[in-house]
């Protein structure tokens, strides 16, 4: 059997973190078994579905590297196929017309509630002759669900879960206006797309019993179901925006790398021993359903940030320079020239050791690109206004005559100068840092000087003198 999984978001908003993890698990399982990963946009809620949300979902999946096979399937476009299945079940006596009016159903539920009974459709039109139908009431089509016995889900995560059929009612398949319900559309689409494994949040588990009844009525094979626990916040409460339940695009804007986010989402509810750093290729090799736990996992932005720092340090300088360029262009107000881009690339080995996000990396790198004269922050200005200017002025004369501009030579000359003037090295290095970066915090200052080059370094020193 060739494995086919699917990710089926509703385009009513962004690709949120829970959805991204569901997509990741489906992607990994399909790739692990040499199968297909399909994308279905469940856009039947026409009032809330938007093209902007569709675009955001597709953009988010693409950014995360979760490429699907074939073209996306749009559920709304398949409404006639869904209705066809409902009509076939009707013709086979496995479904029936229900003429109960909305008011009649409301009264039924109110009576059930008053008597402490579960509020379920009572089957009042299940065995009645349609000739008894009241005039002017358009019918719905309901599934004639089994009344006796049990329905069981053999779930790869939750185990065997069973419900008595008396707890399930005859669900609506086709509304009175002829539009299919979600339950019908999902089953028909999964069947027609040859989906073999449904991996989704455990909030869908109660739907699965009804969907299995529909699979059985249609005579179709039931896919393997895996209902994964939801993601909670660090406090154990349901994940919300205050915890970080944002869209994938928000994490991109905050400077997270897609490979770090995928690694972090993978470890939310799935494990492989004590391994924490799991690149995508390794994840594909290792991922299977038995590694998914049954307890909710907790989303922690601090842990994600630390993991992102690891991926920043491991990333190639070419790759980082390319994705950093637009952020730096925004900070300096203009696209980077070739010389500026080359300077940033040279600086990255020192910069990426001290950053955990692309935002931090860009902010730490931007001083290399700023036009002279630099604007000094308050601490740098204070340092140069006090006792930092005198040694800097004397050392600048030595620098101007220095033939070798490598950081080792620069540091050696600085040490000689400090010793000869009975200074600690910091008394020279800090004014240098303030003059060259506009700040009192930077990568090693002699590394900075080599990257800036002789002309730019001397120019910045002379500006403050």
How far apart (Å, rounded) are the C-alpha atoms in residues 308 and 362? 15
Q: What angle do CA 228, 229, 232 make, to 5 degrees?
A: 140
Task: Give the span between the Cα atoms of 235 and 430, in whole angstroms.
Answer: 43
Q: List C-alpha distances in Å: 356 to 83, 121, 260, 322, 364.
A: 52, 55, 11, 17, 11
Active site annotation includes 241: yes
97: left (phi over 0), alpha (psi -120 to 50) or beta: beta
DSSP string over 70-115: SSPEEGGGGHHHHHHHHHHHHHTTSEEEE---HHHHHHHHHHHHHT
Question: What is the separation of C-alpha 277 from the centre of its chain, rounded to a whole number of angstroms?
Answer: 17
Can you say how many angstroms the Cα of residue 242 is from the centroid of all Cα atoms in its chain?
16
Q: Residue 278: CB partners within 8 Å, gap ≥ 6?
A: 263, 266, 267, 272, 286
Angle between the N-to-C axes of helices 407-420 and 445-452, in degrees from 0 to 180, rounded to the nearest 10: 130
Cβ-Cβ contacts under 8 Å for 358 (sequence gap 6 or more): 255, 256, 257, 312, 323, 324, 327
Give the β-pairing of 150-155 and 159-164.
antiparallel
> CA geometry: angle at 35 spanning 30 and 39, to 5°?
65
Active-site choice (147, 241, 382, 416): 241
Structure tokens given for 278: 């799991």
Do residues 79 and 73 touch, judged by C-beta distance below 8 A?
no
Q: Which residues contact 227 (CB under 8 A, 6 or more apart)?
A: 155, 157, 158, 200, 201, 202, 204, 205, 208
- Residues with catalytic annotation? 241
């Amino acid at each position: 059997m060739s494995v086919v999984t699917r990710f089926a978001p509703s385009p009513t908003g962004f690709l949120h973190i829970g959805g991204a993890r569901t997509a990741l698990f489906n992607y990994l399982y399909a790739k692990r078994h040499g199968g297909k990963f399909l994308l279905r946009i469940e856009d039947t809620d026409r009032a809330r579905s938007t093209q902007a949300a569709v675009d955001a979902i597709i953009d988010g999946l693409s950014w995360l590297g979760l490429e699907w096979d074939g073209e996306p399937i749009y559920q709304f476009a398949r409404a006639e196929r869904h209705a066809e299945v409902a009509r076939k079940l009707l013709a086979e006596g496995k479904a029936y017309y229900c003429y109960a009016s909305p008011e009649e159903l409301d009264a039924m539920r109110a009576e059930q509630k008053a008597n402490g009974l579960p509020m379920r459709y009572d089957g009042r039109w299940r065995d009645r002759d349609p000739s008894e139908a009241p005039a002017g009431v358009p019918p719905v089509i309901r599934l004639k669900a089994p009344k006796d016995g049990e329905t069981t889900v053999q779930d790869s995560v939750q185990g065997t879960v069973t419900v008595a059929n008396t707890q399930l009612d005859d669900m609506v398949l086709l509304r009175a206006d002829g539009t299919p319900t979600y339950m019908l559309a999902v089953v028909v689409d999964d069947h027609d797309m040859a989906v073999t494994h449904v991996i989704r949040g455990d909030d869908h588990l109660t739907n699965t019993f009804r969907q299995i009844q529909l699979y059985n009525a249609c005579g179709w094979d039931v896919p393997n179901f895996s209902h994964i626990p939801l993601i909670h916040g660090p406090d154990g409460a349901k994940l919300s925006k205050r915890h970080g339940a944002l869209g994938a695009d928000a994490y991109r804007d905050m400077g997270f790398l897609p490979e770090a986010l995928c690694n972090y989402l993978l470890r939310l509810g799935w494990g492989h021993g004590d391994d924490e750093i799991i690149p995508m290729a390794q994840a594909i090799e290792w991922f299977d359903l038995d590694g998914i736990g049954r307890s909710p996992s907790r989303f922690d932005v601090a842990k994600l940030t630390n993991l992102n720092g690891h991926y920043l340090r491991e990333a190639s300088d070419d790759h980082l320079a390319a994705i950093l360029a637009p952020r730096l262009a925004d900070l300096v107000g203009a696209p980077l020239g070739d010389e500026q881009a080359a300077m940033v690339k040279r600086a990255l080995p020192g910069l990426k050791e001290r950053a955990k996000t692309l935002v931090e990396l860009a902010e730490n790198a931007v001083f290399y690109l700023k036009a002279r004269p630099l604007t000094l922050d308050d601490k740098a200005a204070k340092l140069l206004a006090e006792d930092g200017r005198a040694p800097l002025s004397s050392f600048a004369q030595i620098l101007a005559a220095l033939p070798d501009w490598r950081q080792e030579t620069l540091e050696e000359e600085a040490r000689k100068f400090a010793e000869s003037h009975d200074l600690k090295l910091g008394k020279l290095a800090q004014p240098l840092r303030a003059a060259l970066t506009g700040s009192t915090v930077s990568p090693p200052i002699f590394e900075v000087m080599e990257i800036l080059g002789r002309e730019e370094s001397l120019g910045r020193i002379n500006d403050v003198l």
